[in-house]
Amino acid sequence: MDDNRIWQFERELWLGGGDVYRERVAKECLMALPSEPFIFDGESATRAVENTPRWAEVDFADQKVERPHRGLIVIAYRAQAKRDGESYHALATSTLMQLEHEEWVVVQHSQTPLGVMVADPEA
């Protein structure tokens, strides 16, 4: 997958809903997100997306792409998303795994919000 396609793939995940997640996020995916329960698998992330308003727009900066092994792509970037007057700025990573020719799925994703204090839920 070339870099332009990688970033289009990632953008569609930010802007799309449950249908996009069901197609592009592996059931075995693990995600660390800034909302409870904080750690999600692919199925729980898809359910969460279906019950969350989608972002209207997203911009990426400081984009990095690595290909550590055939069939794996790791990306890191800053995301700034907006919807209905709300803005969200985070550092994010995703790992994509190739299933077949031109078929990729997310197997890992994490977001660290910028500009907010993250409280320890155990404290």
Looking only at the bridges linking them, the beta strands covering 39-41 and 25-32 are antiparallel
Domains of the chain: 3-113 (3.10.450.50)
For 37-95, the pLDDT digits (tens) are: 999 999 999 988 888 889 999 999 999 999 999 999 999 999 999 999 999 999 999 99
pLDDT value, residue 118: 57
pTM of the model: 0.89
pLDDT value, residue 96: 98
Q: Are 87 and 62 in contact (CB under 8 A)?
A: no
pLDDT value, residue 35: 87
Sign of CA pseudo-dihedral 51, 43, 111, 72: negative
Q: Where are the beta strands (DSSP E) in 15-71?
A: 25-32, 39-41, 57-69
Write out the DSSP string of 78-95: EEEEEETTEEEEEEEEEE
For 4-32, the pLDDT digits (tens) are: 999 999 999 999 988 999 999 999 999 99
